[in-house]
Amino acid sequence: MDSARASTHDSTSAELIASIRRSVESAVLGKEQTVRLSVVALLAGGHILLEDSPGLGKTSMARAIAKSLGCEFRRLQFTPDLLPSDIVGANVYRPNTGDFEFRPGPVFTHVLLADEINRTTPRTQSALLEAMSERQVSIEGETLPLPQPFLVIATQNPYEFEGTYPLPENQLDRFMMCLEMGYPERDTELEVLKKHRLGEPTDALESVGDAESIVALQEQVAEIAMHDDLAKYLLEIVEATRNHSEISLGVSTRGALTHYRAAQAMAMLEGRDYVTPDDIKQTACPVLAHRLVVRGAIRDGHRQRATDLLQSILDETKVPV
């Protein structure tokens, strides 16, 4: 009986995951790999940083994910004059009662799109830190929990320097994955043009899940098994980033834990209850590259250089049998 119940449970989870992927891919054409990794981050309870040129579908990706999940979605445009209270909320005085009333900010939602996050000051950027890592905010000594699930999808344009504030390492470390959209193929872009004739494709999306079902999926990820030899393999990759002559700052322990959970989520996405070496390899660059500080790399080429170095570490690290 228990085995049959577990089999049905696994089947339901697989169907929901597949439905989420299909739904998002129907609105964001030609980005199957980015969608796949975004779903992995969602299953692992991690946040996503979409870094690419304007107009390549970063906002559409965030909206498609939110609508497919059937969760509340809010968009916050980051600007130089944005204040921390504009993110988390503030206590507002009510003259008719003489009391202060808390008015929650846009962070009190399931999916928050932090659009052009690098356009606001580090002080305001840091207002997201506690929310992203602790799933809660503190206002004047009072701690308030955020809705579950809670996913931040932030966007930034790496090629526009004037009026931007690069994300510091401690902020980057809060994002599980840093992904790029990339230019679509010609045939795909033609299909995009046709789809947008009748309006924004994300507006037509129907939810395939709800908040409770997403939280249940995230809880199942923690149960995915990883053999000790694979955990050691993951740590060998992490340690190699700390000892590499061209890397001045390697992966932190938080980064290693994040990679561990991402590998579990990848296994679940593939329909397995155990992690394989490929799960670790496939998630390594999206999870770890943005956490590295490369010696002498110029700003606009830093991420690619970090990815290249990480790929060489993966090629040189012996895979356990």
Give me the average pLDDT of each 10-residue run along the chain (321 residues). 47 91 88 93 95 77 87 90 91 83 91 89 84 86 90 81 73 90 83 78 83 94 96 97 94 95 97 96 96 76 86 95 82
Contact 283, 175 (CB under 8 A): no
If asked whether residues 240 and 109 sit together in one domain, one would say no
User: Which residue carries 């510091």 as its tokens?
Assistant: 168
Distances (CA, A) of 53 to 77, 194, 258: 16, 22, 26
| 285 inside domain | yes
**Strand pairing partners for 249?**
293
| 241 inside domain | yes
Q: Which domain holds residue 258?
A: 222-321
Contact 214, 69 (CB under 8 A): yes
Residues sharing a CB contact under 8 Å with residue 56, sequence separation 6 or more, in sequence order: 181, 182, 183
If asked whether residues 238 and 196 sit together in one domain, one would say no
Question: What's residue 180's pLDDT?
Answer: 86
Question: What's residue 298's pLDDT?
Answer: 60
| 184 inside domain | yes
| 53 inside domain | yes
| 85 inside domain | yes
| 216 inside domain | no
Domain count, the chain: 2
CA distance 52 to 73: 22
Distances (CA, A) of 13 to 208, 213, 259: 12, 9, 22
Q: What are phi and psi of 209, to 5 degrees?
A: -150, -165
- Hey, what's the torsion of the CAs at 111, 209, 183, 121, to 10 degrees? 0
Rg (CA), the chain: 20
Question: What's residue 162's pLDDT?
Answer: 61
If asked whether residues 104 and 239 sit together in one domain, one would say no
Written as six digits, the tokens of 201 are 């494709």
